[in-house]
């Protein structure tokens, strides 16, 4: 006796072949969204670390600095945090961060003991899968963090006050 009626051989294989692409797309979408959330949290942590470095009076530095290499600058800490958080520790793939605008130190003329520094970190994130209308090819993740200044910035680190805000100047090429 036969176990399967004569027209049903291979039905499960055909159903599996029809459902597999949808399951694979769903799985890759979940992975892409998870990586996007990880990148967003990493940029937020980098802004927090950059604000801390600015609050204790570290200089601005230049993009590509690394605090691990002894360059204790705001860029150094931010770039190291993004490289660590996104798994870009290989020397040939450094993070491309941008502090835009450069960190600002807000000075309250009535209370100079409570100055604040604001650091904004922007990172161009490229998702694993591009979904038109949902996830474009490049997404700029931007996070801002403000912290109270503990040590005054090093001499020559800021220019101006303009509207009670000092802006860090950079000597990068």
* 6 in a structural domain: no
In a domain, 59, yes or no: yes
Residues forming beta bridges with residue 118, ordered by sequence position: 104, 146
Q: Report the DSSP beta bridge partners of residue 159.
A: 167
What is the pLDDT at residue 111? Answer: 56
Residue located via tokens 């038109």: 132
Rounded to two decimals, the pTM is 0.76
What pLDDT is recorded for position 91?
A: 45
Please report whether residue 135 resides in a domain.
Answer: yes
Residue 5: inside a domain, yes or no? no
pLDDT of residue 93: 45
Enclosing domain of residue 130: 11-168
For the record, the structure tokens of 6 come out as 């004569």
Distance set, CA 15 to CA 5, 9, 10, 18 (Å): 17, 12, 9, 5
| Token pair belonging to 52 | 């801390």
pLDDT in tens for each of the 173 residues of the chain? 556 565 567 888 888 899 999 999 889 888 888 888 998 999 899 889 988 988 888 888 877 778 777 778 888 888 888 888 877 544 444 455 666 555 666 665 555 556 788 888 888 888 877 877 777 888 888 888 888 888 777 666 677 676 677 777 766 76
Residue 114 lies in a domain: yes
For residues 159 and 122, give the distance between their C-alpha atoms in angstroms, rounded to a whole number: 22
Closest CA to 39 of 152, 105, 138: 138
Tokens at 58, concatenated: 């570290």
In a domain, 132, yes or no: yes
In Å, how far are 55, 59, 76, 106, 153 from 160, measured between CA atoms?
Answer: 18, 16, 24, 11, 13
173, part of any domain? no
Residue 47 forms part of a structural domain = yes
Count up the domains in the chain and report the number: 1
């Amino acid at each position: 006796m036969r176990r399967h009626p004569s027209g049903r051989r291979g039905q499960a294989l055909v159903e599996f072949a029809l459902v597999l692409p949808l399951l694979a797309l769903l799985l890759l979408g979940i992975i892409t969204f998870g990586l996007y959330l990880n990148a967003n949290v990493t940029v937020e942590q980098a802004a927090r670390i950059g604000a801390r470095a600015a609050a204790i009076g570290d200089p601005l530095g230049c993009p590509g600095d690394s605090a691990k290499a002894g360059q204790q600058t705001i860029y150094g800490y931010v770039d190291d945090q993004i490289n660590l958080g996104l798994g870009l520790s290989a020397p040939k793939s450094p993070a491309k961060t941008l502090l835009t605008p450069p960190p600002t130190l807000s000075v309250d003329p009535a209370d100079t003991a409570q100055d604040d520094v604001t650091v904004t970190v922007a990172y161009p994130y490229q998702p694993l899968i591009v979904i038109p209308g949902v996830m474009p090819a490049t997404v700029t993740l931007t996070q801002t963090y403000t912290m109270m200044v503990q040590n005054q910035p090093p001499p020559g680190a800021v220019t101006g006050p303009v509207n009670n805000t000092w802006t860090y100047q950079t000597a990068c090429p």
